[in-house]
Structure 1
């Protein structure tokens, strides 16, 4: 994600609320033990997700793509004590780390981790949902979007990560490049939602269901 000026990124990081010691430790262990640690949400986006949960006064959230659990814990922090967060992943090492940190967190009791193929896991989660965060395999972004949209309440939010794809959406070359670009075009033209594409980290699309 070297398409964003490092000085500006650091400035924004420094003026964003700290994530606390547990998430800091999770971030460090993710970089030490898991492949592709760049997939970790991190402070800027994690605090944004928490804030969106709070602003929505959300009680039921679905996440597609748990990775090591940073984003799930960030959103769970914004939920009330009786809130629920369902998160799904298919990668055993990432799931193992996420479970460990869910157990250590006071907010872990709000989280249900669904293991296996995401589209099948989505079927298990009942409507209505207040918010959905999509951050998984890019080729399936439109499939995930179409699967969750009927479950999201009117006024609810779908948040989609990596929609700038390190700037490669400007000149798509490979399958993932085209998948992200096609996703952005499709949801922009979808009159069931209204959206804004934010230049936070690798791009965050916020889509409000009408």
Structure 2
């Protein structure tokens, strides 16, 4: 037994991935193309075990609608949309890059998910604020500019259904959150976000050691 999470060596991570339901050719090819086309940004893509977790979570929740803030080349949106009903706009995807989401669109088409995903290009806060009154989500995923997380949280939480779940990525910031010498805006944004979520009495929260840290919060009201 152990009261702490095991350190994840590369070898242990390989074992973990090998004992998780494998990715299909669409996700495999998307990850490979992202690495070729955007080598400097490819690290922004979530890992296969996180993608599988998000798909399973959406299915366990019985999610009917979801939103993601930060689409990049579409890996996470595929993982989410696959678990949602085959209905127009079941997943609202928000991003500011036509280039990155151009890759995403091709793979959504290949996966047969284009009809389930409503892509909005532009600042995500503006997209959320323009939603009609009463629009509510079962599941949300934040994976965008780190110093903007609190703003996204505050716009999303009132738009979540009771019992809805909000996920936020990179909340360990490669361990830099506990390094007092690290003062970048991105890392400080994550620190502020983590503290903000912990103090929010509208949710119960756990920070999971998946990928670079995945915060999972459930709306209790």
Q: Normalization by structure 2: what TM-score?
A: 0.91
Query: How many Å separate the matches in 1 of 2:54 and 2:69?
Result: 14
Q: Does 2:172 correspond to 1:167?
A: no
The higher relative CO (CA closer than 8 Å, separation ≥ 6) is in: 1
Query: How many Å separate the matches in 2 of 1:57 and 1:194?
Result: 19
Query: How many Å separate the matches in 1 of 2:25 and 2:142?
Result: 25
Provide the secondary structure at the position in 1 that maps to 2:29.
helix
Residues 39-68 of structure 1 show CA distances to partners (whole Å, capped at 9, x for unaligned) of 111211110110111011001100000000
Could you say which residue in structure 1 is the equivalent of 2:37?
Answer: 33
Query: How many Å separate the matches in 1 of 2:204 and 2:95?
Result: 28
Which structure 1 residue ranges, 5 or more long, are not aligned?
none
Task: Name the CA shift for 1:190/1:6 in 2 (closer, same or farther; >3 Å).
Answer: same
Q: What is the Cα-based RMSD across aligned positions, in Å?
A: 1.3
1:37-186 pair list within 5 angstroms = 37-82=42-87, 84-126=90-132, 127-171=135-179, 172-186=182-196
Could you say which residue in structure 1 is the equivalent of 2:3?
Answer: none
Provide the secondary structure at the position in 1 that maps to 2:171.
coil
Provide the secondary structure at the position in 1 that maps to 2:71.
coil
Residue 30 of structure 1: CA displacement?
0.3
Count of equivalent residues: 208
Residue 124 of structure 1: CA displacement?
3.4
Question: Contact 1:27 / 1:42 at 8 angstroms: preserved in 2?
Answer: no
Query: How many Å separate the matches in 2 of 1:124 and 1:54?
Result: 28
Query: How many Å separate the matches in 1 of 2:82 and 2:101?
Result: 19
Residue 123 of structure 1: CA displacement?
2.1
Residue 9 of structure 1: CA displacement?
1.3
Question: Contact 2:47 / 2:211 at 8 angstroms: preserved in 1?
Answer: no
Q: Does 2:211 correspond to 1:201?
A: yes
Residue 33 of structure 1: CA displacement?
0.4
Question: Contact 1:73 / 1:108 at 8 angstroms: preserved in 2?
Answer: no
